[in-house]
Amino acid sequence: MHSQHPHLLLYFHLHLPLHDSIFWVVSFFFFFPNPQMGRKKNEPKRTVCSIPLIFLSAFLVSCGLIYALVVLRAPLSESELLPLVEDSKACCRGVENLELWGDVVKWGSDFKLNTSQECCNACKSTCTVNDNGPCLCDTWVFCANPHNCGSKFGECWLKKQKDSLAPEQINAEGEVVSWTSGLIFGKGEGIIGLETEFGTLRVKLFPDCAPHSVAYILELLQLQLCVGCQFFRAESIGQSWDSKGNHLKNAAFGPPFALIQGTLEAQGGEGTIFKKIPIEDCPTIRRGSVAWVGSGPEFFISLANHWEWKKEFTVFGSVLPEDMHIAEKISTLPTKSDVWKNVNVTLLKKPVPLMLRRIDKGHENFNTKANSA
């Protein structure tokens, strides 16, 4: 059933098949009495580049650059980890060749800027600072193509959607769309639910960091069902991370790898056609991060802070902290063992179906049953 999934481990183990081969040989003789795991990341102070040049030959430079920075780096303290958490305010991305509609907050004909990022930030600046306040602007539209825009080049239109989870789009068939558009979700906005039999995981979406990803999720949200959407892999935090997702000193980095993995692709006649999603913002994976494996539609929810992983996963949302117990519950369900790329993984004996649903503010008391389970 999951014959298509073994390639996913490639993403969790650095995309380096050629270097892995060399690392395996060296590791077998020098580091690991049992090479089944592939890489023991809890031995960071040892370096491949300390092996005599004759063993590494022409691969020494590339090996040293990669493993010194990624695999063999010294452990970081908690205070050193904090700067690795990117500020979401730094994200200001949109979708090119897209014009979103909405009620006008600020007229672009009277408001011109130099870049789409400046337009995006202008929209963000309308968000109130209190926890319950919405953004006065949740949509920005920027004319970014000098050739096609003409005199409209630089116009920044700030707008407000009637329904931010179903944004209005102008369909101009046969016409060149010169606009770049993006969404902004303020406090308490842009939250969708991944509904399972164990409860609903509420996910805050990041359209300013991953606009293409969020656009696809909002398409799925319009479906009555999401046949084929499910969790199929479950790996608990084991003995390597604490309940807050912090890595324990001298512990291994897996297996288990502290994640639940699934797919978000509707199958059948009612499904929306999936297209590969471009790589977008790839921050450090934190506890609660919801990210694609590659270009999707397979995704994972991290149960721990994975600073040891390369920043190559598009994070398009984050599970609300109070719902992480549901993800942890799924991670402890009965599993069966499998081997992907010489690494032990655990797959759910019974995949957990999921459905996307809207989460309206003020209607959040639907996890009572899950909390008592």
HEC sequence for the chain: CCCCCHHHHHHHCCCCHHHHHHHHHHHHHHCCCCHHHCCCCCCCCCCHHHCCHHHHHHHHHHHHHHHHHCCCCCCCCHHHHHHHCCCHHHCCCCEECCCECCEEEECHHHCECCCHHHHHHHHHCCECCCCCCCECCCEEEEECCHHHHHHHCCEEEEEECCCCCCCCECCCCCCCCCEEEEECCCCCCCEEEEEECCEEEEEEECCCCCHHHHHHHHHHHCCCCCCCCEEEEEECCCCCECCCCCECCCCCCCCCCCEEEEECCCCCCCCCCCCCCCCCCCCCECCCEEEECCCCCEEEEECCCECCCCCCCCEEEEECHHHHHHHHHHHCCCEEEEEECCEEEEEEEEEEECEEEECCCCCCCCCHHHHHC
pLDDT of residue 348: 97
CATH class of 191-372: mainly beta
Within the chain, all domains assigned CATH 3.50.4.10 are found at: 88-183
pLDDT of residue 269: 58
Confidence of residue 192 (pLDDT cuts 50, 70, 90): very high
Single pTM value for the model = 0.74
Residue with the larger pLDDT of the pair 223 and 360: 223
Return the percentage of the chain with pLDDT > 70, whole number: 69
Within the chain, all domains assigned CATH 2.40.100.10 are found at: 191-372
pLDDT of residue 129: 57
Evaluate if residue 134 carries a pLDDT over 70: yes
CATH class of 88-183: alpha beta
